[in-house]
Amino acid sequence: MNAAAPAPAAILDRIRRHLVALKMPTAIERLDGLVQRFEQGQINPYELLEQLLAEERHLRENRRVKMALLTARLTTLKTLESFDFSFQPSLDRNRILSLAQLQFIERREVIHFLGPPGTGKSHLAIALGLEAVKVGKSVYFTSLGELVSALAKAEREGQLRERIRFYARNALLIIDEIGYLPLQSGGANLFFQLVNARYERGALILTSNRGFGEWGEIFGDPVVASALLDRLLHHAIVIAIEGNSYRLREHAELVPEPLRTAALRLPQKAPEPPPKRRGRPRKHPLPTSAPLKTAHS
């Protein structure tokens, strides 16, 4: 390309003022460099305009994603690109990559990542959350323990309905670490209310080191556990990871085999009686015997 006539200073000045008014700081910063490349014949006016807009847009997009990740509480950055599928041969890579297309959010499905500690359950859940944030979906990440504490606090403060609404309004709610720690008393009931509020209204990703058969123990009440599973296995995608801990990959020989592969088992407490509910009566009564449906994938 031949060198172009220099851009008229008065016009450049007006462009700069437009960019200031439009709050486009990156474009202002890049303008001189791009004009110079245009004058040297390296780019044409269309390319100048396109690159100016692209840089501004790119920066805004990055800023939006950063803010949305904070709001979603996705503060540790885990990506699908950084996941080593060769370390976890039981995982179907294509299946995970197709989940990253996010149709499960549109279909309001529930993804369960099951497996022993360190097998990448949280990593994959966070990575899918990141994909959802990138395309502008509202996401919230929490552990079951934190979720139940927050609901219990809200209940004490008479704010339970608002708190449930808060969790229910995200397009994707990620609930990590089901089964690691014993739930506080009344926790199963609070979790049930949330699951009910989201049922068929929003997508979920759950991670757990325990099988569904152990949910009665985890939630301290087989009736609530069965009602939970009834909802959480309807429209569900179950991904079981049967591998070794990535955390222990360099020191696996130091951990005895049964501990390496077995799901973490905590000392069992005697089952507590079902917690007494306070507050207003339940809208959806718990079924006395909810049949367990099998996941369709």
**Residues 52-81 vs ligand ADP: string with x where CB under 6 A?**
--------------------------x---
Out of ligand ADP, Mg ion, none, what residue 119 binds, judged by CB under 5 to 8 A for its kind, is ligand ADP
Q: Which of 247, 265, 282, 296 binds ligand ADP (CB under 6 A)?
A: 247
Residue 77 or 292 with smaller CB distance to ligand ADP: 77
Size of the site for ligand ADP (CB under 6 A): 17
Instruction: Compute how many other C-beta atoms are within 10 angstroms of the C-beta atom of residue 215.
Output: 22
Of residues 121 and 235, the one with the C-beta less far from ligand ADP: 121
Q: Is 123 in the site for ligand ADP (CB under 6 A)?
A: yes
Task: Tell me the closest approach of the beta carbon of residue 213 to ligand ADP, in angstroms.
Answer: 19
Rank residues 170 and 209 by Cβ distance to Mg ion and give the closer one: 209
| HEC assignment per residue over the chain | CCCCCCCCHHHHHHHHHHHHHCCCHHHHHHHHHHHHHHHCCCCCHHHHHHHHHHHHHHHHHHHHHHHHHHHHCCCCCCCCCCCCHHHCCCCCHHHHHHHCCCHHHHCCCEEEEECCCCCCHHHHHHHHHHHHHHCCCCEEEEEHHHHHHHHHHHHHCCCHHHHHHHHHCCCEEEEEEECCCCCCCCHHHHHHHHHHHHCCCCEEEEEECCCHHHHHHHHCCHHHHHHHHHHHCCCEEEEECCCCCCCCCCCHHHCCHHHHHCCCCCCCCCCCCCCCCCCCCCCCCCCCCCCCCCCCC
Single out the residue of 246, 261, 286, 290 in contact with ligand ADP (rule: CB under 6 A).
246
What are the distances in angstroms from CA 9 to CA 14, 47, 261? 9, 20, 70
Site string for ligand ADP, 224-243 (x = CB under 6 A): --------------------
Inter-residue contact 132 to 172 (CB < 8 Å): yes
* Contact with ligand ADP (CB under 6 A) among 14, 22, 70, 87: 87
Site for ligand ADP in 92-121 (CB under 6 A): 115, 117-121
Whole-number minimum distance, CB 127 to ligand ADP, in Å? 9
Residue 129 in the binding site for ligand ADP (CB under 6 A): no
* 119 in contact with Mg ion (CB under 5 A): no
For the bound state, the minimum distance from the C-beta of residue 10 to ligand ADP, rounded and expressed in Å, comes to 55
Residue 131, amino acid: E
Nearer to ligand ADP, 166 or 246 (CB): 246
Residue placing its CB nearer to ligand ADP in the complex, 250 or 253 = 250
Binding site for ligand ADP (CB under 6 A): 78, 82-84, 87-88, 115, 117-123, 207, 246-247
Binding site for Mg ion (CB under 5 A): 122
